[in-house]
Amino acid sequence: MINKSIIISFLAALLFAACTSAPRSYVIEGVVPNATYNNQMVFMYNYETRKNTDSVLVVNGKFKFAGSVDAPVVRRLVLNRLYANIILENGKITVDMGDPMSAKGTPLNDELSKYNAEFARYEDEAIERITEIQYLETDEQTRQKMAEEFIKQYYKSHIEPLCIRFINANRNNALGAWLLWQGPIFHLNPDLGASLYAQAGDIVRNFQPLQSVIETITIRRRTAEGMPFVDFTIENGNIDGSRASFSDYVGRGKYVLVDFWASWCGPCIAEIPTLVEVYNKYKGDEFEILGVAVFDRREETLRTIRDHKLPWAHIIDASDIPSTLYGFNSIPQIMLFAPDGTIVARDLHGSALKAKVEEVMNEEEESCGC
């Protein structure tokens, strides 16, 4: 005879398991800021493949994705110029496309919301203090130094511990990968970022965008200040279409200020007056400027050189070759090379650029007794 109490216990166990087991599919329920987005497509973007993996239509100010994932992954929802970053995991996720950081409803998205809230609070406190500094009755240079020192200290005392805490708590999941990649760690403390990456689990270390960051850091170390220049050749790099090599200009007995730029780049064009000023002041046997056009079309590069009357030497059609070799992903990237080709400085702009060139040229005059 079957014991009824055993049957009841068995059924209760099954019911408990059904209620407590992890969901096997996801639903993303989203809203948009206003009716102008109705009948437009929301795309789900995969950061690793750099492709859209799904899309749905906005109807009456709402949209819904449905599906399943084997494990949580990082995704971006894109609607025209709006976006929202999410951790795609099984369960119900809600998102407001008017707020890039609004995803919530599942464990990792709720954890991300906590991180974002703390980060925003620290950010507001920092902005408030920096605003107070700007109103101090002292000269602008002193206020700038005070603000920079405050930001440095505030990062070490507040932002860095926050990042470390959340990354260590998620060192082998999609949230940890996202925070390490998109957080400020790698930007402000690359060595710490590399250390956290090395201590992370396979899910974090195999996240392709993070692998690219690690590769870039390795390249930056090989091309840091004090390291020798890395040569490259562009088959049609001269303006006349002939072959041009970086070593045609760098490492040949002059200080060379190299401007990696593009015609479509607003900040690049904004640096031209500074470059012209430096060029006119120091050009000669000891100093030269070299422009290297990257990520640009030949005809647009030539037109800009002509329209702005850029008098220095140029290598064009360099595409992404210099950025790959020197580890930069934004322009202008302006670097100063010593007469023997050693990298003196990189990431130079504006007044800091002028000050650095003046410093090395004054040292050059003193050393030769000019």
**DSSP for 223-260, written as a single string:** TSTTSBP---EETT-STTS--EEGGGTTTSSSEEEEEE
Structure confidence at residue 177 (pLDDT): 97
Cβ–Cβ contacts within 10 Å for residue 185, how many?
23
| Domain-embedded: residue 346 | yes
Of 172, 192, 222, which residue is a domain's last?
222
Q: What is the pLDDT of residue 15?
A: 45
Q: Which residues of the chain have pLDDT under 50?
A: 1-2, 10-20
Of all helices (H) and strands (E), which one includes residue 130? helix 107-134
Task: Let me know if residue 9 belongs to a domain.
Answer: no
As for how many domains the chain has, the answer is 3
The amino acid sitting at 277 is: E
The four Cα atoms 337, 341, 343, 346 give a dihedral, to 10 degrees, of 40
Same domain, 314 and 327: yes
| pLDDT in the model for residue 9 | 53
Do 211 and 182 have their domain in common? yes
Report the pLDDT value the prediction gives residue 188, as an integer from 0 to 100: 84
Phi, psi of 224 (to 5 degrees): -80, 170
4 in any annotated domain: no
Q: Is residue 70 situated within a structural domain?
A: yes
Q: Do 273 and 328 sit in the same domain of this protein? A: yes
Residues 162 and 212 in one domain: yes
Residue 237 shares a structural domain with residue 362: yes
Q: Are residues 216 and 252 in the same domain?
A: no
What is the model's pLDDT at position 24? 94
Verify that 237 and 364 share a domain, yes or no: yes
The CATH number linked to 78 is 2.60.40
Largest distance between two CA atoms of the chain: 111
- CATH at residue 329: 3.40.30.10
Q: What was the pLDDT predicted at 137?
A: 87
Residue 6 lies in a domain: no
Question: Could you tell me the pTM of the whole model?
Answer: 0.72
The two structure tokens encoding residue 195: 């250390």
Q: Is 184 in the same domain as 133?
A: yes
Same-domain status, 148 and 86: no
Residue after which a domain boundary falls, among 70, 104, 138: 104
* Contact call for residues 75 and 86 (beta carbons, < 8 A): yes
Looking at the chain, which runs of residues are DSSP E strands? Answer: 26-31, 41-46, 51-57, 62-67, 73-79, 82-88, 91-96, 233-234, 244-245, 255-261, 287-293, 313-315, 333-337, 343-345
Under DSSP, is residue 101 helix (H, G, I), strand (E, B) or coil?
A: coil
Last residue of a domain, one of 104, 123, 142: 104
For the stretch 109-132, pLDDT in tens is: 999 999 999 999 999 999 999 999
Residues 333 and 271 in one domain: yes
Q: Note whether residue 26 is domain-resident.
A: yes
Q: Is residue 8 part of a domain?
A: no
In a domain, 5, yes or no: no
Which structure tokens are listed for 131? 């605003």
- 202 and 169 both lie in a single domain: yes
**Crossing angle of the two packed helices 107-134 and 160-169, in degrees rounded to 10:** 170
Cα distance between residue 27 and residue 117, in whole Å: 24
Same-domain status, 268 and 180:
no
Q: What range defines the domain where residue 207 resides?
A: 108-222
Phi/psi zone of residue 262: left (φ > 0), alpha (ψ -120 to 50 degrees), beta?
Answer: beta
